[in-house]
Structures are given as C-alpha cells and as structure tokens.
A and B are shown apart, each in its own frame.
Chain A
Amino acid sequence: MNYGSHGKLLRINLTHGTIESETFDESFYRLYPGGKALAAYLLLREVKPGCNPLGPANALILANGLLTGAPISTATRFTAAARSPLTGGYGESEAGGFWGPELRLAGWEGIIVTGRAEHPVYIAIRDDRVAIRDARHLWGREPEEAQATIREELVDRLTRVLQIGRGGENLVRYAALTNELRHFNGRAGMGAVMGAKNLKAIAVRGSGRYAAIAHDPQAIAEIGRRLAKQAKEHPQSWDLQEKGTPGLVSGLNAAGILPTRNFHQGAFDGVDQVRWEVYEKELLTARRSCYACAVRCKREVEVHDRYDVSSSYGGPEYEAIGGFGPNCGVDDLQAVAKANELCGRYTLDAISTGSAIAFAMECFEHGLIGPQDTDGLDLRFGNAAAMVKAVEWIGERRGIGDLLAEGVKRAAEVIGGDARYFAMHVKGQELPMHDPRGKVGVGLAYAISEVGAEHLSAYHDPAIANPNSITFKGAMPLGITEPLPARDLSPQKVAYYYKLENWSSAGKAIGFCYFGPAPRSFISAADTVAAVRAATGWDWTVEDLLRVGERATNLARVFIVREGFSRTDDVLPERLFQPLENGALQGVALSHADFEAAMTELYRLKGWDSVTATPTRERLEALDIGWAADLI
C-alpha cells in the first residue's frame, strides 16, 4: 500500500566516488516523515561529534518534506542539514522552488552526501541514473552561467539545478544553496559545506508522478484544487500574492519593530523610500511562484538606474530589505536590490550578510575599525554604495569582507573591545529582521532554536493577540484558546509558544512553506491533516503532527548537546535588553528576569533539564526516540 514515499535515499561518497541507494520502510517514515524530521535523524546518524564542519567527515543531508512534490500549494520545500560552519551546531535551512519536487519525481526522498571530491564535481540525477561529473570548468562561474552549462551538458533544459556560487566556493560561513537561481537554503552555511566538499551543483530530473506514491491520489488532487482556489481568496495569501514579504516593511515600522541601525531603533526615518509602494513602482517586473503553488509570493525585479540589477536572481524579500535597508541605515531600495542580487550571484545568506555589514558599520562608527581596515571603504550607517561593495567583498573574501565572511561572532572576537556588544547573533547565527522587544515569543524562538537565531521556528505573537482575528481562529485547533498580547511573557504565552514551535517544526517535516499553514496563512489545521492523511493513509491528527514537530526539534537538540551546547548558549544579545531608541516602542526592552523565567518554563514544558537544556531520557522515550538519549 502506498504511504506517500518512495522509501529510498541516495547516498554519495565524494571521496570514494561511490553512489548507493538505501531503503527504509513505512514504520521508519512514520517516525521521520521527511524534511526536518528526516534530516535531523540522518544527520545524527551520519555525523560523529566534533567533526570539522568544513571537512570530509561532515555530511550534507538534503531531505524532502512529506508532501513535497504533491500538487498542493506551498508543499514545495526540502531541508538542507549539516553541522553548521557558522555555529558549530545543528545547521538546517529549508528552500522552496523546484528542486525538491523534482527530486521526488526522480524517485528519491533525500540525498546523503559525504566525503570530499578531489576536484570540483557536480552530481547529475535522472531518475535512478546518477553520475558524478567533472565541474572544474564550472568552479568560479556565476550560478546563471553554471546552470546553463549544466543543462547544455545534460542536454536537458528542464533539469533543476541546486548549486553554490563563489561565496560557497570561498567557504563564507553563511553561504547558501540556490535552486533555479532564486530559491535559497539561506541559513546556517549549507553553501560552505557544499563548497568544502568540492561539490558545485546537484542537477535533478525526474519522470515520475506524485500520484504513483500517494495513498489516495484522487483525494490529494481534490485537496490541491480546493487549496489553490482558497489561496487566491484568502486575505492573507492574497496579500502575499499581491505584495509578497516586501509588504511587511511599513507595518513593522509603524509597530516600532523594524530593526534599524543594527537593532538600536525600531523605526526608520527613511521608511518611505523602502516601502512596498516604491518597490512596486521602481523595481518590480513580475510575480513568480514555486512548484505548483497558487500563492505566488516571489518577486522578480530589474532596474538599470543608480544600480544595474538583473532579473535572473529574483527580488529582495522582506528580510533582505530590512537587513540591507533600515538595519544598515540605507534608504535606497535600488541599492538593497543590488545587494540582494549579489547575494544571489555569490549564494550568500541575505540575513547574515546584511547583519554582518550592519555590525561592521557600528564598529566603524565607534572607531573599532577604520579606513585602514576597510581599504578606504566608508562603512557608516546609511552609505548605500559602501553597503553594496561590502556584499561583494564578503563573497570574494576580500579585505574586510574576509573577516565579515566569518560571521559576526568570530569577527567580534578578532576586532575585540566592545565589538561583541554589536554582534547581533545567537549561537553564532545572525538575527533575522524581527525585533523580540515587540513580539517576545520571537525572542524565545531566537534563543532556543538549535540553528541559532531563526524567525521561522515558530509562528509570531501577533497571530494570537486578537480573539476575533483570522490568525487567532487559525491557531485555535492547536489548543490556543486565550488571546495574549504580543509582549506578554506569561507561562500561558510560553505554553502557546511551545505549540506554535511544534506546529512550525511539523510544517518543516511536511514540506510546507511558512506561507502555507494557518495561523500565518490559508491552509487550516484540518486541511493540513487531510492532506497528510490522503498522502499517507495514516489516521493522524493535529496532535500527531505536533508530535512529529517536537520529535524533530528534540533530535536537533540532541545534536547540539552532543556538540557541547547548553543553556548558556540559549541566550539573546544584550542589546535586546536595552530600550529601543525610537518609534512606537521607544523605551521598551526585554527584562532579563522575565525572559529567563520564561525560558525555564519552556524547558519544563519540553521535558528538558533546565540547567543544561538537555532532553531527558523520559521525554525522548515518550517521543519514541529513546535511542537518542544514548548519544548524550
């Protein structure tokens, strides 16, 4: 009986040039049903503690979500995981686009890449035919050119290419992976791991059909059609289609939580130059989609004015606008678009890149670095041209860019003095563009996430603030019954955060984009359950999915505990405990006492030791992963 999976993984050892197939059964898939859940399991199994993240002993895991490739809007994602070269802990990042679905249609649930090739190579997959090919001629090439060459060599213009640019080749610690040039596994340095393996790209083409593995293909098709219609009619997904994430800028500014000048401020005086209406007028050329997704939230931009920005690399999302714009004090949206395009060319994580430059700007303004360190680059807040140049130098590891390519934590250690106070990171990963002083659950997420500061590890507080809102109603099936203000940090909020984190984690196992499920968007919990049931035939409920999410998070936690992380690493930058300097929340700060009390409560709910932040054997056994307790 079909259960929504091929039950097959591809294992490639680049040192030995071996290619093998590995199978699993339905009972295994019930425990680790794709995406984050499968990736975290495989990473724990494949990687020995203490391995060099940029050495051959690290593994790069690519794992499709449970529904990835199904004709269901937003079910497009796959997880990339490895020991992170940025944090030394659990590295994980999800991407949509087309590569994951294509891998599914080629008959594979995931790929385990180990070892290191002697010279640059790429992997070519066409269904069950897999080859390792020479990529020496592609090394150093930009993604657009590399993709075209690979398609030419494979005589297949529809092959989907996952690859790294020069940032990955140069081992920038927050280098990304890109597929179709504009969909990124952005976070945690997966591109550097791939670069360290001398692996330029993985090209995939599949000839299968999702219906062939679905338990109930007719039901999947019906749910897919209904959700596609709903995506166009639901206010939140309509908004994502209309404006995409760039629409968030002005609202966060009004709320006083638009990170500005390296998180000193929550409102940006130049916001009118970087808001959606300017984006639409000056930059936007098209709205694009991921595989089979009716939301169509991706933007495409092109401009030939103050900067030349190619349309090949998509367009800046909110995170890039916030990071290269207000957080660097830059009010030139064309410069932001150029910085974003360079991140596409070099395959750099736009969040960490923007944050590293904001950090450098603050160091520069405080005299911790000067023109002698920056080859004369005037790295002050607001200098758009310097910001753009810094992105290029990070990708090239040139001059000050070489230091910033190490991430803000390492850079601050080298610069010394007060630089550590300017380094906005958790566990070494830079903060996304959401300020926990205005939505405190995001602070819990940043602090506790095994990946380091991450904004998609739980749904954000405003979703559950108003009892009559669409978002609150969307959260109710998760057991959230009482509205709580965005700045509430009571035990009840912590309990709700715990549910929202498990739900988000489940979404990453399912392969849903953050813009699919409620409470953020249009797919109700009931429809999520219905889709999973139709795919697998399993009689699962919301509770079962929450358990999948929790199990995945616990596997990731076991991984970082094994690497020596503890509660002392689950901490926010001190700046968030200082008052915001302007905007609607001027004077507002997090409280150390309240935050630590909330973290203690969260560990209790998770069944973790509150001193070491380690999962107890009892909790791991309750999650059916008692074996993981033996690893720590």
Chain B
Amino acid sequence: MQLYLGGHLNWYEPCKRGWITVPLAETTPLAAVLARLGVPASEVAIVTINRRVVALQDARVSDGDTVELYPPIGGG
C-alpha cells in the first residue's frame, strides 16, 4: 500500500516522509496500520482510499491501495 501522510501527520513518522510504502499481507483496518506506524487517529481528519473519501473507522486497506491522510486543515 502507498500511504501519504499529509500536513503534520508525517511529523509522527520517524523518517518524516510524505509517501511511504506499507506492505500488507491481507486486508487490514486502516486504524490498525496507523497504530502500528504511531500516527494518532485523533489527528486524522480526512482519509482517501484510491481518491475516494472514507471514514477512518470504516476504512480497510489492501496491498496496492493508494491512501492519503490529512489532519484538520485550519487555513492560512
């Protein structure tokens, strides 16, 4: 799975990368992937899987998916 950590979400990823590759052996709840990566779900405001917006609690991801995550975007 290709995962994009937008805004300040990639602050939580040790290497501070935007796009990262997350190998997935099977379909997995996205929340579990985030927990493994150390990205707090409380900071995630927008989730897209293959460009479609989904709710984090319902999101399940598979290898080959392109996933983008963004925090609350406060303007400026």
Residues on A facing B (Cβ under 8 Å):
235-236, 238-239, 242, 245, 247-248, 250-252, 254-256, 276-277, 318, 434, 439, 442, 455-456, 459-460, 462-463, 465-466, 468-471, 514-515, 519-520, 584
Contacts and interface: CB of A to CB of B under 8 A. Distances in A.
B1 interface: no
Contacts, number: 89
B6 A250 contact: yes
5 contacts: A254-B46, A254-B68, A277-B18, A466-B42, A520-B76
A439 B45 CA distance: 13
A471 B76 contact: no
Contacts of A460: 73-75
Nearest to A257: B73
Given A442-B75, A460-B73, A239 B11 contact: yes
Nearest to B18: A277
Contact of A515 (B11, B16, B45, B76): B76
Interface of B: 4, 6-8, 10-12, 16, 18-19, 40, 42-43, 45-46, 48, 53, 68, 70-76
Contacts of B71: 251, 469
A253 to B, nearest CB: 9
Contacts of A584: 46, 48, 53
Contact of A468 (B10, B42, B76): B42
Contact of A519 (B8, B12, B45, B74): B74
A401 to B, nearest CB: 29
Given A254-B46, A466-B45, A238 B11 contact: yes
Given A471-B74, A584-B48, 14 more contacts: A247-B7, A248-B7, A250-B4, A254-B6, A255-B70, A277-B19, A460-B73, A462-B72, A463-B72, A466-B42, A469-B42, A469-B45, A520-B74, A584-B46
Contacts of A238: 8, 11
B75 A251 contact: no
Best-surrounded residue of B18, B46, B53, B76 (most CB of chain A within 10 A): B76
A251 B12 CA distance: 17
A514 B18 contact: no
A367 to B, nearest CB: 34
Nearest to A460: B75
Nearest to A277: B18
Given A247-B6, A456-B75, A242 B42 contact: no
Contacts of A248: 7, 73, 76
Contact of B75 (A235, A256, A520): A520
A468 B41 CA distance: 9
B72 A471 contact: yes
B43 A469 contact: yes
Contacts of A463: 72, 74
A536 B13 CA distance: 41
Best-surrounded residue of B4, B7, B42, B48 (most CB of chain A within 10 A): B7
Given A254-B70, A256-B53, A514 B76 contact: yes
Nearest to B12: A235
Nearest to A438: B73
Best-surrounded residue of B4, B10, B71 (most CB of chain A within 10 A): B71
B76 A251 contact: no
A235 B11 contact: yes
A601 B17 CA distance: 44
Contacts of A520: 74-76
Contacts of A236: 8
Nearest to A464: B72
A251 B46 contact: yes
Nearest to B53: A584
B42 A250 contact: no
A252 B6 CA distance: 10
Nearest to B45: A462
A510 B11 CA distance: 29
B59 to A, nearest CB: 13
Nearest to A462: B72
